[in-house]
Structure 1
Amino acid sequence: MTPTDATPPIRLLLCDDHAVVRAGLLALLSSTAGIEVVGEAGSGEEALAMAARVRPDVVLMDLQLGDGMDGVEATRRLASGAGAVPEEAAPRVLVLTMFDTDADIARAIEAGATGYLLKAERPEELFAAIRNAAAGRTALSAPVADRLMAQLRTPRPALSERERDILQQLARGLGNREIARALFISEATVKTHLGRIYGKLGVDTRAGAVAVATERRLLG
């Protein structure tokens, strides 16, 4: 679609904890026809508060936002109309990040993101994604779309009862030795189960396993 004088510009809010990144995006987008940057935020909390004030059509959201609320939680609140943003004014959220792991993609999409774009994309791809997001269409980087298709073709196996037990202990913050004692198994067995859990959830850290398990309601 080619913007015209009769078409109002897409109101865009930037959320990234790096000021230099925000400045670069602002410079890039300010000269783009049909897109108006109406605010900048350096944290998830700031994005929620600013979205309530400026009513953006699209929020360009980074996932890693330093201390405090991360981009996934901010996406969930924005997309659902929770907090200061009323449901009827909920913006579309377009993730713009460096991270393309299965866990990051799944968490963002499950939180309600309209699209998922990588920072390595060309400017033209970013502009098109913003316009697609504003129109309610899914916007995905090609590598992200490929990963999603691969997941659909080869769904991950379900967790066993023992693996769920170990996940529960992980969520409590226990280390391998403590988990072994709590479940009356060896540390080597705990490590073996953790490797399988990571593979099934598409993560490579304990924190990632707990985050994905929480998103998929595997800890209840």
Structure 2
Amino acid sequence: MSGGASIRVAVVDDHPVFRLGMVALIETLDGMECVGDAADVASAVVLAGERHPDVVLMDLHLDRDSGIEATRLIRARYPRVTVLVVTMLDDDDSIYGALRAGASGYLLKGASPAEVERGIRAVAAGSVLLGPAVGARAVDLMTARASAPEPFPQLTEREREVLRLVAGGLDNTAIAYRLALRPKTVRNHVSSIFVKLQVKDRSQAIVRAREQGLGGP
């Protein structure tokens, strides 16, 4: 973003009332303009490519899609676009996943308009902004997980996320909701995990995962 220019903001959220409310908020803020909005991953990526926002406000639960995946794709294809997550999800996997995907900030949907404005300006200026409800946890998560080697290097990052939730006792439907994925996508990931870990079923996968510290008893 060039000095003195308006901050170009896009909004990605599958809830129309919240999305339109956020668009309206942005239009009231000095030095900002909303350049578009989207409700799913595909539209979000197209929007980032066509409208060149400085900041994308990203929800993580996009109906059957994942805002983490949208963040990863946008940051990979358009590295000058920054992402500020604004979501209801405050679990450790969501926070860690969003930051690993390239998000520059993380706010919960209870944030005030002033906090959202501060977050947009911060990430547009190249800073990292973590809301008070997640800041300390995010630092601890990134430090702890970065200092330890990832278990099962043969798995993709998404497969490790799925395996961690399998080991935590969640079924495929719950995992799909937690990661904002289609149930069929989760089933495919689970099948791939079985093949790569050379296990026959879910019970064996859970044992292997917990031996490496994933999930819990």
Question: How does the TM-score come out when normalised to structure 1?
Answer: 0.68
Question: Are residue 66 (structure 1) and residue 63 (structure 2) matched?
Answer: yes
Looking at CA atoms only, which structure, 1 or 2, has the larger radius of gyration? Answer: 1
Q: C-alpha separation between the residues in 2 aligned to 1:73 and 1:159?
A: 19
Q: 1:24 to 1:110 in 2, by over 3 A?
A: same
SS at 2:107 equivalent: strand
Could you tell me which residue of structure 1 aligns to residue 96 of structure 2?
Answer: 106
SS at 2:37 equivalent: strand
Where does 1:1-220 land on structure 2 (aligned, <5 Å)?
7-67=4-64, 69-81=65-77, 85=78, 87=79, 90-151=80-141, 167=163, 171-173=189-191, 182=200, 200-201=213-214
User: How far off is 1:172 after superposition?
Assistant: 3.3
List gaps (5 residues or longer) in structure 1.
Answer: 1-5, 205-220
Q: 1:137 to 1:159 in 2, by over 3 A?
A: closer
How many residues align structurally?
179
SS at 1:172 equivalent: helix
Q: 1:19 to 1:196 in 2, by over 3 A?
A: farther
Task: Provide, for residues 97-146 of structure 1, a one-character-per-residue CA deviation record: whole Å limited to 9, x for no partner.
Answer: 01111100111111111111111111111101000110110011112111
Could you tell me which residue of structure 1 aligns to residue 172 of structure 2?
Answer: none
Q: C-alpha separation between the residues in 2 aligned to 1:55 and 1:107?
A: 24
Counterpart AA for 2:62: L
User: How far off is 1:30 after superposition?
Assistant: 1.2
Q: C-alpha separation between the residues in 2 aligned to 1:160 and 1:191?
A: 13
Counterpart AA for 1:76: R
User: How far off is 1:191 after superposition?
Assistant: 6.0
Question: How does the TM-score come out when normalised to structure 2?
Answer: 0.68
Q: Percent sequence identity over matched residues? A: 34
Q: C-alpha separation between the residues in 2 aligned to 1:160 and 1:130?
A: 35
List gaps (5 residues or longer) in structure 2.
Answer: 167-188
Could you tell me which residue of structure 1 aligns to residue 169 of structure 2?
Answer: none
Q: 1:114 to 1:160 in 2, by over 3 A?
A: closer
User: How far off is 1:159 after superposition?
Assistant: 7.9
User: How far off is 1:150 after superposition?
Assistant: 3.4
